[in-house]
Chains A and B, each alone.
Chain A
Amino acid sequence: MALSTHRTTTALLRHLTPAISYLRHISTDSTSTITVETSVPFTGHKIDPPSRSVDTTAQELMSFFRDMALMRRMEIAADSLYKAKLIRGFCHLYDGQEAVAVGMEAAITRKDCIITAYRDHCIFLGRGGTLLESFSELMGRKDGCSKGKGGSMHFYKKEGGFYGGHGIVGAQIPLGCGLAFAQKYKNDENVTFTLYGDGAANQGQLFEALNMAALWDLPAILVCENNHYGMGTAEWRAAKSPAYYKRGDYVPGLKVDGMDALAVKQACRFAKEHALTNGPIILEMDTYRYHGHSMSDPGSTYRTRDEISGVRQERDPIERVRKLLLAYDIANEKELKDIEKEARKQVDEAIAKAKESPLPEPSELFTNVYVKGYGVESFGADRKEIRAALP
């Protein structure tokens, strides 16, 4: 393979890398096309899968690495914050699945809509959310994206086209079809990516929504993030047919290696073109989460630690991009380490700033219940203390 021969050449050059770094083969800002082959081909259901060769640029690969490193660091930091009891309630972490978020972003614009379930921190980041908004929301502070009133499962970013953040399994799927319906109604040539998990794939509302989307040719792309476990239940124990990309029956489907950001990008670009002309399509992202379902789940009672570390060694999305960057000599080890350190620094700064952010005012209890607001003084539940003069 072309890749391996290139790698040996670069290995030889590595000793001289510090000296000749300014004579790099490809600079990090280069936008000239690199073509990479995905390691796993796409499998199609009632559709011809796209080609395995993905066009990318050095700039894009670097952005993949940077974004995924930031996302990984954010999730690990959230883990420690949860254990320190600064984040309460439910916290569902996305580490291991970052490739889906960054690959999807690379293929679409901010005018396209994304809606997902509760494992939403990284997708929020991809849609333009900041670390400060993210950590503040997790800690329930005023500077959070939902003013501290939503929590981990309710991240939203209207300007970025991110529609949440939903706690009830599967309920976001009809909402996603509604977003696609509105796009069709307004004729604005955008699509909606509706993400759900392998657990939600058994919900009736998925099939109801698929039927309607297919009936009216809505530009909806339903993405099943198959991390093989619905909380503690493995997919083969919950679904008679774990081929989620085929379960649309009359709706075409594509199975994608969800740990490969470039494969995800290719699939999403292909799906967007399809949805705009032919109606809905299902993408099944074969991915994996390292943490348990949420912070209250150790994640090792229903799967072995060997399995987790095996996937981490062989399929980790960040490692893949790192290998690509090194192979194409776009960056060297030290630069990549620096990027990871930078990510860590950004995350630490954001946490420190978020910790300083104040808790919401008591009057915030009554704001945003209705759009117009109450326009009057309102008492709290005990009728004595909390009084709010509402907007």
Chain B
Amino acid sequence: MAAIVQGIGATAAPSASSNKFLLSSLGSSLLEKKRNFFVVRSDGKCYTGLNQQQRRAQNVVTNAVATKEEKASAAVGSKPGHELLLFEALREGLEEEMDRDPCVCVMGEDVGHYGGSYKVTKGLAEKYGDLRVLDTPIAENSFTGMGIGAAMTGLRPIVEGMNMGFLLLAFNQISNNCGMLHYTSGGQFKIPIVIRGPGGVGRQLGAEHSQRLESYFQSIPGIQMVACSTAYNAKGLMKAAIRSDNPVILFEHVLLYNLKERIPDEEYVLNLEEAEMVRPGEHVTILTYSRMRYHVMQAAKTLVNKGYDPEVIDIRSLKPFDLYTIGNSVKKTHRVLIVEECMRTGGIGASLTAAINENFHDYLDAPIVCLSSQDVPTPYAGTLEEWTVVQPAQIVAAVEQLCL
């Protein structure tokens, strides 16, 4: 129990829901949070915000490879839902939030008339007008700053970086004015901004357009970072990020925009600080996010055939880490493999390794293995680019090594 408390303290997960279990067992008073929307949790259980204990009951599924079918069928109302691509899911989430709250606005390069370089904002400018879906000049530093200034007054802007790498130009605004302003003003101003964009290694896009910025932003105090990986969590996380009063950076991936999936018809919002259990298992915990989830699931098929039972968790929340879900998994399997697309040096995996080592050291039977991209600029040549990122074969080999 002490380890859990320390773990939560170390990363200071802001989610009240994930800690109510601990607080209730420690005898402290609970904070009742009123929820007035329908929430579907990552393991498929749905609730309308009543019994906290019920939420934390483990729902171990023994044979699911991917619980996508599970999720859809467990959705209350048993409606079949509708099928769409990931970028359409993002757009749906965005549109629903813009309908719901007139303060929500979008700004970025080519988001308006062009419809967004990845079509995430297609059709929105015709519906909401040029001021709410604002085409900006190519000036990342200033339009990000502008979004932050607008957020200070109460607007809820969504700043789109055409490619995450371009947001490096806005680093000063994101770090100093976005992350720190709530603190340095003593709580007077809140910055409910969402900064989103595609990043990650694509198909031979070259070094500057294949950057992964999650490692650069992870130390900024005051921001939250989430990475979406499926159409279902893309829509849920987009909505949650817009509703959040904290600045949220939503990392999308260039290669995942055309993923087709069936998502529920009802409105749902996901928890920003929660990790997703993709495949429960017994032998090893594989932690991953974004595109690497699919490489891991591919490797998982091979591993299941070879007789291993990996537990795959899509961590989703890059800052702060959901050490509750991760910790429970580590306690079950005692082995951890982290598969990420970030660079090895100073990446998300490096921080996660440190956090798990600090908090769950007693539960580990083997050192944590972290598979990351190589510390090189992404080359253009196809074969070289393939070897920059982690491939399923490497994941299989690592699990075999770990589970010896």
Contact = CB atoms under 8 A, between A and B. Distances in A.
Contact of B149 (A165, A176, A184): A176
B370 to A, nearest CB: 23
B9 A372 contact: no
Interface stretch (B178-186, B211-219, B301-309, B373-381): B178-186
Nearest to A176: B149
Contact of A209 (B19, B145, B147): B145
Nearest to A166: B177
Contacts of A375: 14-16, 19, 31
Contacts of A113: 153
A216 B139 CA distance: 15
B256 interface: no
B182 A369 contact: yes
A139 to B, nearest CB: 15
Nearest to A163: B152
Contact of B137 (A148, A215, A366): A215
A59 to B, nearest CB: 31
A379 interface: yes
Nearest to B223: A370
A171 interface: yes
Interface in B9-40: 9-10, 12-16, 19, 22-23, 31
Given A156-B189, A212-B142, A371-B182, A178 B9 contact: no
A163 B146 CA distance: 13
Contacts of B145: 171, 173-175, 177-178, 205, 209
A166 B177 CA distance: 8
Contacts of B10: 379, 383
Contacts of B244: 371
A208 B155 CA distance: 21
A164 interface: yes
Contacts of A166: 176-177
B60 interface: no
A211 B152 contact: no
A158 B139 contact: no
Contact of B13 (A173, A176, A376): A376
A182 B148 CA distance: 10
Nearest to A113: B153
Contact of A178 (B139, B141, B149, B184): B149
B14 A179 contact: no
B154 A182 contact: yes
B14 A185 contact: no
A174 B107 CA distance: 14
A146 interface: yes
A322 B144 CA distance: 45
A70 B177 CA distance: 30
Contacts of B143: 174, 208, 212
B182 A179 contact: no
Contacts of B13: 374, 376
A205 B177 CA distance: 14
A228 interface: no
B87 to A, nearest CB: 26
Contacts of B78: none
Interface string A204-232: 11001101100110000000000000000
Contacts of B139: 205, 208-209, 211-212
Contacts of B181: 164
Nearest to A206: B142
Interface in B121-152: 131-132, 134, 136-137, 139, 141-152
Contacts, number: 176
B202 interface: no
B172 interface: yes
Contacts of A144: 186
Interface in B193-218: none
Contacts of A168: 172, 176
B188 interface: yes
A278 interface: no
A102 B183 CA distance: 28
A204 B149 CA distance: 18
B142 A174 contact: yes
Nearest to B152: A163
A154 interface: yes
A66 interface: no
Contacts of A212: 136-137, 139, 142-143, 146
Contacts of A149: 183-184, 186
Nearest to B181: A164
B183 A178 contact: no
Given A182-B149, A371-B245, A177 B184 contact: no
A314 B173 CA distance: 40
A7 to B, nearest CB: 47
B132 to A, nearest CB: 8
A213 B6 CA distance: 49
B141 A205 contact: yes
A385 to B, nearest CB: 13
A45 to B, nearest CB: 22
11 contacts: A149-B183, A156-B185, A175-B149, A175-B177, A178-B153, A369-B183, A370-B224, A371-B246, A375-B15, A377-B5, A379-B9
Given A174-B145, A379-B9, 17 more contacts: A146-B188, A154-B184, A154-B185, A156-B189, A178-B145, A178-B148, A179-B153, A185-B150, A205-B142, A209-B142, A368-B182, A371-B182, A371-B245, A372-B14, A375-B14, A375-B31, A378-B9
Interface of A: 113, 115, 144-151, 154, 156-158, 163-168, 171, 173-179, 181-185, 204-205, 208-209, 211-212, 215-216, 366-379, 383
Closest 6 CB pairs of A and B: A178-B149, A174-B145, A175-B149, A146-B186, A147-B186, A208-B139
